[in-house]
Amino acid sequence: MKCLILAAGSGSRLRPRAESKPLFPFLGVPLIERTIRSALAAGADDFVVVTGYGEQPLRAFLERLSRRLGVPITTVTNPRWREAGNGASVLAAEPLLDEPFLLLMADHLFDPGLARRLIERGAPEAGLLLAVDGDCHNPLVDANDVTRVRREGDRIEAIGKGLEWYDGYDTGIFLATPALFEALRQAEAQGDTSLSGGVRRLAAQGRAKALEVSGGFWCDLDDEAALRRAEKALLARLRGKAHDGPVSRWLNRPLSIRLSRWLVRLPVTPNQVSLFSFALSVVAALLFMLPGYPALAAGGVLAQLASIIDGCDGEIARLKFQQSDYGGWLDAVLDRYADALLLFGLTWHLLQQGGGGVALVAGFLAIVGSFMVSYTADKYDGLMRARGGARFRMGRDVRVFLIFLGAVLDQPLAVLAVIALVMNFEALRRLVVCRNA
Amino acid sequence: MKCLILAAGSGSRLRPRAESKPLFPFLGVPLIERTIRSALAAGADDFVVVTGYGEQPLRAFLERLSRRLGVPITTVTNPRWREAGNGASVLAAEPLLDEPFLLLMADHLFDPGLARRLIERGAPEAGLLLAVDGDCHNPLVDANDVTRVRREGDRIEAIGKGLEWYDGYDTGIFLATPALFEALRQAEAQGDTSLSGGVRRLAAQGRAKALEVSGGFWCDLDDEAALRRAEKALLARLRGKAHDGPVSRWLNRPLSIRLSRWLVRLPVTPNQVSLFSFALSVVAALLFMLPGYPALAAGGVLAQLASIIDGCDGEIARLKFQQSDYGGWLDAVLDRYADALLLFGLTWHLLQQGGGGVALVAGFLAIVGSFMVSYTADKYDGLMRARGGARFRMGRDVRVFLIFLGAVLDQPLAVLAVIALVMNFEALRRLVVCRNA
């Protein structure tokens, strides 16, 4: 599936924070790269980008991106980008497109799922399919600037910015056929060089259809206000991780998202964040091993801080399209080491104070129990997913928070005992649950 | 696929150790159950068993087995089982079979893979396909008693016990079509009531084909000598586990197989053996925690004994068709607990002797490292399988053997240090290897 991306405009309403609007770094990734990666995820595999304003740096960037992603990206100049509307940009790419193609705007963000649904539905014969958002109260949309759509069933009846009667918004995500080019030429003959003009011609012939996508994520980054709204929305989506435990949900995640928002601007990889968080845990464990309360409390705070930062690796990976199986696995392995080191640190602390056999046994059982809950997680979680059962609520977020509390309140033995009891009981319970399944 | 099993004979050459030959318990499982389970594994799902000698107990057993396995098993009496050959048994089942069917002998053992290959090849139109063993030196075959086969390409040219010129053995595993019934009637009209007689008729018309299966496991349990040979062969196949480590291969497995050979006769499940082995490890760890060398050495011996017995659960499961995902998982989880307990026992022993911080750190790192190698095993082994790389050689068999040596030689600290170093280094190495993959 080919994908045409319109990137010729000057983006004059955005202050010049980048060489051109498509190169504007949004949460660490240039807008054009976001669009291309989202389209890739939706199923496109061959790209045509129409350039105009600020062409040289954009072309150079796309050449590097093409090598980096291993997908073909062709650039086409729209010589009329200054004077004509965005329909002229589509026409500039006509020689390269002879099959149905995905048509996107370089300055729109969208959930790849929306574009995938368009591709799955398919374009009407010699026509066009547009993703239309029927939620006219969508807070991400600037109602005064958006292109409006009026529908009759799944047919587009009218489209345009000034439309008084309408029931949806143009998301800027199209599945078009080459018939669009002829329609654009007809519109241009009547003096309308906008893409909407072409769509209007097809609509008049009943060949422009709409796919309802209300509830899906998309937004048009026209000005500073839109940027701020979109950034907030994208960061809020990071909270949606279904398996976040209570401490993660109410404490760690809100803080780590703020941190990630800042970190995406730096050349820091998710794996580097995982390693940094692990290093903090090592230091926390070493502080535990020092005698006296101040070091213990400082270690507790540092352990909790490491746990918060541990959320950033996944968030940065999602925001910067850097998710990988290896990254998730490395994070899990380092977490196991960090857990064991923190619990060992507390045990050592107690033994120094003359904790004796009780402390040793509690520490050993806490370490072993935590490991066993992780070791049995794959099988148990798989079973619970299949059955729709509840997840175990004492995940790593809660364990580290207990360690933090235990250290700050100077109650390391109580924390070790609680973790030892709960974790080993849970491992035993899983043996029984999986047996009965 | 239906499966016809001939079980009418008296098995007079076997001393009466069971009510009838099909009920003879071979390594804990009656022969007829072995045949049915092997055919199930090969793809058959509907069974017809021809009975004769000792019919009542066999029918009662098959009714229970049908419920237990959840597959239909129909029994048919061959009223002429005393006077006629085994062709008469096949004819007795004619009303129940109108499509190609698998034809097996109740007193033959075979690898399900052989029957599966027959089914995959398919029977010739209105004919029959016989699995033929071209290895005329197969040590499991009694060359004086076996039915011989002479082939021309994949066509059977002649078949019979007395054949002077031959190039293969009749394995007793057939894929037949209903055309066999007419051939058996023709043979009977000429006074030959054997199955071979019917095959000979089809062969004369070029409708009996052979599938070469030399190298595959099969045997005919005609007499005591054959039983002993087959038992030895089946037990030897347990050694074939590709991922057995060196200690398992040369010490544990030879001993555990001898033990399993005896355990299969008892009503003991593999999971019970896993739990018993775990209990022995717990006792070994407790012995480690007692002061003094004798308890340490006794614990070491017990730990190694538990490791040997730990091989029996899988062996019994394979011999008695009791393999299960849960069983393998339970065994793995208990092994992790046992490993940790043994290492903790050694650590405690050292601390009692005033081992101090060094012993504590060595014990902690040994426990954590062992866990991490298990925790990273799924991903790493998957990668190594895909790449054909070598497996890690310091598996559980080696670790427990080192613990045994360390205890008996009174060197617990050295053992903890070696395990701590090797295991954590290996975990670190895996992080790097998987990253580069």
* CATH 3.60.15.10, domain B241-436, yes or no: no
Candidates A340, A348, A372; nearest CB to B368: A340
CA B90, B94, B96, B97 torsion-angle sign:
positive
pTM: 0.89
A289: tokens are 């091993």
Residue by residue, DSSP assigns B335-366 as: HHHHHHHHHHHHHHHHHHTT-HHHHHHHHHHH
d(CA B131, CA B203): 14
Task: Tell me which chain A residues have a C-beta less than 8 angstroms from the C-beta of B375.
Answer: 333, 336, 371, 374-375
- Asked if A337 lies within 8 A of B368 by C-beta distance, the reply is yes
- Asked if B371 lies within 8 A of A336 by C-beta distance, the reply is yes
User: DSSP code of A248?
Assistant: I
Please report the number of interchain residue pairs, chain A to chain B, with beta-carbon separation below 8 angstroms: 58
Residues in chain A predicted with pLDDT less than 50, given as ranges, are none
**Any idea which architecture B2-229 has in CATH?**
Alpha-Beta Complex (3.90)
Q: Mutate which of A364, A365, A430 to test chain B, going by most B C-beta atoms within 10 A?
A: A364
d(CA B306, CA B308): 5
pLDDT of residue A241: 61
The Cβ of residue A411 has, within 10 Å, a number of other Cβ atoms equal to 15
- Asked if A348 lies within 8 A of B333 by C-beta distance, the reply is no
d(CA A413, CA A347): 8
- Asked if A375 lies within 8 A of B372 by C-beta distance, the reply is no
B301 Cα to chain A: minimum distance (Å): 24
Q: Find the residue in B nearest to A373 (Cα).
A: B333
The complex's ipTM works out to 0.87
d(CA A335, CA A91): 53
d(CA B22, CA B49): 11
B366: which residues sit within 8 A by CB, 6+ positions away?
B343, B347, B416, B417, B419, B420, B423
pLDDT of residue A18: 73
Candidates B330, B375, B427; nearest CB to A375: B375
Give residue-wise pLDDT tens across range B256-302. 999 999 999 999 999 999 999 999 999 999 999 999 999 999 999 99
A299 Cα to chain B: minimum distance (Å): 19
Task: Tell me which chain B residues have a C-beta less than 8 angstroms from the C-beta of A372.
Answer: 333, 336-337
pLDDT of residue A242: 64
Q: Find the residue in A nearest to B367 (Cα).
A: A368
Candidates B340, B351, B376; nearest CB to A333: B376
Residue pointed to by tokens 């101090």: B356
Per-domain residue ranges for chain A?
Answer: 2-229, 241-436
Q: Mutate which of B367, B370, B378 to test chain A, going by most A C-beta atoms within 10 A?
A: B367
d(CA B205, CA B179): 12
Give residue-wise pLDDT tens across range B319-331. 999 999 999 999 9
- Asked if A431 lies within 8 A of B336 by C-beta distance, the reply is no
Q: Please give the radius of gyration of chain B, using alpha carbons only, rounded to the nearest integer.
A: 27
pLDDT of residue A392: 75
- Asked if A333 lies within 8 A of B375 by C-beta distance, the reply is yes
Average pLDDT, integer, range B376-385: 83
Q: Are B330 and B274 in contact (CB under 8 A)?
A: yes
d(CA A59, CA A69): 15
- Asked if A375 lies within 8 A of B374 by C-beta distance, the reply is yes
Give residue-wise pLDDT tens across range A63-118. 999 999 999 999 999 999 999 999 999 999 999 999 999 999 999 999 999 999 99
d(CA B346, CA B344): 5
Confidence of residue B390 (pLDDT cuts 50, 70, 90): low
Residue by residue, DSSP assigns A31-43 as: HHHHHHHHHHHHT
- The closest of B73, B108, B72, B105 to B89, measured between CA atoms, is B105
CB burial class (10 A; 0-12, 13-18, 19+) of residue B52? buried
Task: Tell me which chain B residues have a C-beta less than 8 angstroms from the C-beta of A435.
Answer: 326, 330
The Cβ of residue B381 has, within 10 Å, a number of other Cβ atoms equal to 15
A372 Cα to chain B: minimum distance (Å): 8
E-only strand ranges, A111-167 = 128-133, 148-152, 155-160
Q: Are A167 and A102 in contact (CB under 8 A)?
A: no
Task: Report residue B23 CA to chain centroid gap.
Answer: 19
Task: Report residue A369 CA to chain centroid gap.
Answer: 33
Confidence of residue B11 (pLDDT cuts 50, 70, 90): confident
User: DSSP code of B96?
Assistant: G
Q: Find the residue in A nearest to B364 (Cα).
A: A344
A324: which residues sit within 8 A by CB, 6+ positions away?
A317
Task: Tell me which chain B residues have a C-beta less than 8 angstroms from the C-beta of A434.
Answer: 326, 329
A340 Cα to chain B: minimum distance (Å): 7
d(CA B94, CA B172): 19
Q: Find the residue in B nearest to A431 (Cα).
A: B330
Q: Residue A307: left if φ>0, alpha if ψ -120 to 50, beta else—which one? A: alpha
Alpha-helical (H) ranges within A152-194 are: 179-189
A375 Cα to chain B: minimum distance (Å): 6
Confidence of residue B162 (pLDDT cuts 50, 70, 90): confident
CA B186, B190, B195, B199 torsion-angle sign:
negative
pLDDT of residue B159: 95
